[in-house]
């Protein structure tokens, strides 16, 4: 079975531009998470979805960041007016469900999208 996939794998943009990062979770996984990983650091939580709704968006750094999951499967992370400080690897993870047990709640990560803002 396919794992979590993310596209593009690399994205280079200019300061001030808009970018969209896509995540395809494992089929059947209802929970989807976005994290951001800066060089030499652990991943930092951004937002997670249970189904179509954002269950917790407390990690989004400011209103330039927005994420959607309109049909409860694929998710898109959108960044407006990109800044050089947004450069990082953006990781997506999915889990079978949320809050029901360690077997079903294991978060499986995709390979990430490396975003570079020039």
Partner 1 sequence: QQQVKQSPQSLIVQKGGISIINCAYENTAFDYFPWYQQFPGKGPALLIAIRPDVSEKKEGRFTISFNKSAKQFSLHIMDSQPGDSATYFCAASKLGGKLIFGQGTELSVKP
Q: What residues line the site for partner 1 (CB under 8 A)?
A: 4, 31, 33, 35, 40-45, 48, 56, 59, 91, 93, 95, 97-102, 105-112
Smaller CB separation from partner 1, 14 or 58: 58
**Least distance CB 9 / partner 1 (angstroms):** 9
Smaller CB separation from partner 1, 41 or 80: 41
**Least distance CB 101 / partner 1 (angstroms):** 7
Distance of alpha carbon 94 from alpha carbon 50, whole angstroms: 10
**Least distance CB 76 / partner 1 (angstroms):** 18
Smaller CB separation from partner 1, 60 or 79: 60
């Amino acid at each position: 079975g396919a794992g979590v996939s993310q596209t593009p794998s690399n994205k280079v943009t200019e300061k001030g531009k808009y970018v969209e990062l896509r995540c395809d979770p494992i089929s059947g996984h209802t929970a989807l998470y976005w994290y951001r990983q800066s060089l030499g650091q652990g991943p930092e939580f951004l937002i997670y979805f249970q189904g179509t709704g954002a269950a917790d968006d407390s990690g989004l750094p400011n209103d330039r960041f927005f994420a959607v999951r309109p049909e409860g499967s694929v998710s898109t992370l959108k960044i407006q007016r990109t800044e050089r400080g947004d450069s990082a690897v953006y990781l997506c993870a999915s889990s079978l469900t949320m809050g029901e047990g360690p077997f079903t709640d294991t978060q499986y990560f995709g390979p990430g999208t490396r975003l570079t803002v020039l």
